Structure 1
């Protein structure tokens, strides 16, 4: 039975591929990082495909969209809080 699936971020993948492109073997990089050598080859292929087209992948765009939606939601919440605080502060100033 396999253990939990590891998730590696783009920075980690790019660093691994950079080591291979710097002259090290995929096998040595894989053993250093504790990943399967197949992953190194897959990451290299993905990065080269992205670099060749100059476009970001759908996964990257979806991740960025999720991040932007979270930011927008937080900004709306902060705006609502500030409006309530302004209303409360404005009403208390009127009584003084």
Structure 2
């Protein structure tokens, strides 16, 4: 039961969260809505999250779990603020409200 808890709460969460971060970072690169430093940080966090899949096999990768969990949450909040500002700016320009 403890192994199932570790897999679902640790490794599986980190891997799926990494895919989520990678999708947002890739979209930010594609349309320029996020600065390059933010997108590259997101892609590095995503790579670390995918490396967490090796945590049950090699103990050294287990240290990446909290990095992805907490670092990814901070990155996600920061990216959300930037995307909200970018979205409201483009909406105002499209309407001519400048």
Q: Give the number of the structure with larger relative contact order, counting CA–CA contacts within 8 Å between residues 6 or more apart.
A: 2
Which category describes the TM-score, using the shorter chain as reference length? Answer: 0.3 to 0.5
Which of the two has greater helix per residue? 2
Normalised TM-score (structure 2): 0.39
Normalised TM-score (structure 1): 0.40
